Structure 1
């Protein structure tokens, strides 16, 4: 199916963005690609013409895109910052990220191309995100087809740090709870707490890290940020918190503010 979808895209070639009347899917109404689908959430006060930054977010296990577009920690962050939210639906409410070459990578690429046919987007502001198993899937996607992705925003999930990635996004931002009871925190071989981003540090040729210290979006959760900026290419940041398996309040919002050069705000 992946090859068929990509072939159809190549045959169709570049097209102008659809008019508002031609955009028949939005919100809970799914956009169809063959026998698969995704959902969209357009930002508040969009004028219908201005190109949009995009965030494609992979849902967690046993969820669907309808939850993503209504989730306050996801869609509130995108819609208030002028970002078009894309929420693909996984087969069986899950994702196939375990091995290279899965159809879900091709499906996600087809979703992005379909969105480009429907909406004007900012080509160098395409972000890929995910939570839990969706975070694992986001890693898989940028590992295999992420050369044009501006940033990976990964929440409570990674791939094995020994993966050999063909591609990489321009930047990686990861958040993880040290007490995660669902996807155990991936400490390094000697207990290193910076191991969740080891793969990307190696891929980018990063040198020493720099601790930025604690920060908060809400008073009941403190995160500690470490960044790697002395890299041959790319940039990596890792936010750690003492909690478990959840999307931290305001985390996506904070990343988008920083990536888009906006004043930090909440939510």
Structure 2
């Protein structure tokens, strides 16, 4: 609670602070320095320079940097068209320390959010964390350790999960996608080949009702159909899982679809 109060104080002060042009010199290839660490920024198209923005903090995959997500069509292509500020932290040695709770990288994620609030006016009710592959595991870790403190509206995980049951906190909503033929971070089937296994941790942590909703199919492009299951959980929390027959990749339109639904926009592609 103390963290949230401090966060809100920073948010209310942000519009006055963020107007200085020196605060926005770091975009795309030019990282924002934060001590001995850094992160990249992609502002949305047609932003007026003053309106508060939803934020996606997206963690890159193994041996990548934050310079990739801010140019990636399936990541920044989604955020920039929806008025969302994209933040892409840089992992040390191009990876993340996410296998145990409260690592230095978890604190770094919290520090990044505080620094972003000093530079930009943001919408405190729409803070999302996302990631792909190892970056998805890192996003899960941040949601596990700081979901409540950082006021995370939703976790958007892609092809990577935390495999243990050590989550002290939770976001308000969890959305995950995984390919059944993923041969990099294998699909985590449940007992007897249960395809709801990837979100078992959150269903337990968030007190979700069983069974899931009736599976529903959707697609953004003709070449890939996803099957969605959803669970209603305690305290109006929700969990959803999209499964597809492919491998280890970010599905076309997946991030865009999640943001459209979370922000009450008509789903469109791209």
TM-score by length of 2: 0.92
What displacement does 1:60 show?
A: 0.3
Question: In 2, Cα distance between the equivalents of 1:84 and 1:115?
Answer: 10
- Secondary structure (helix, strand or coil) at the match of 1:39 reads strand
Q: Which residue of 2 aligns with 1:198?
A: 200
Contact 2:224–2:244 (8 Å) recurs in 1: yes
Corresponding residue for residue 224 of structure 2: 221
Structure 1, 21-30 or 50-59: larger mean CA deviation: 21-30
CA distance in 1, matches of 2:102, 2:84: 29
Return the alpha-carbon distance in structure 1 between the equivalents of residues 61 and 133 of structure 2.
5
Q: Distance in 2 between matches of 1:89 and 1:234?
A: 30
Deviation of 1:234 (Å): 1.0
**Contiguous gaps of at least 5 residues in structure 1:** 1-5
Q: What is the aligned partner in structure 2 of residue 18 from structure 1?
A: 18
TM-score (norm 1): 0.93
- In the other structure, the counterpart of 1:3 is none
CA contact (8 A) 1:205 1:233 kept: no
Say if 2:255 is the partner of 1:252.
yes
Closer, same or farther: CA 183–117 of 1 in aligned 2, 3 Å: same
Alignment correspondent of 1:33: 34
User: Where does 1:141-152 land on structure 2 (aligned, <5 Å)?
Assistant: 141-147=142-148, 148-152=151-155
Task: State the shift of 1:211 in Å.
Answer: 2.2
User: Which residue is equivalent to 1:55?
Assistant: 56
Question: Which digits, 9 at most, give the CA deviation of each residue in 1:130-168, with x for residues without a partner?
Answer: 0000000000001000111000000000011x4221110
Q: Distance in 2 between matches of 1:20 and 1:69?
A: 22
Cα separation, 2, equivalents of 1:31 and 1:232: 37
Per-residue deviation, residues 96-147 of structure 1 (Å, max 9, x unmatched): 1111121000000000000000000000100000000000000000100011
| CA root-mean-square deviation | 1.4
Residue-pair matches, total: 256
Unmatched tracts of structure 2, length 5 or more? none
Q: Is the 8 A contact 1:43 1:80 kept in 2?
A: yes
CA deviation string 1:8-62 (max 9, x = no partner): xx8xx83533214122211111101111000000000000000000000000001
User: Could you tell me whether the CA contact under 8 Å between 1:132 and 1:155 is conserved in 2?
Assistant: yes
Q: Does residue 154 of structure 1 match 2:157?
A: yes
Paired with 2:45 and 2:250, the residues of 1 have a C-alpha distance of: 22
CA distance in 1, matches of 2:233, 2:64: 38
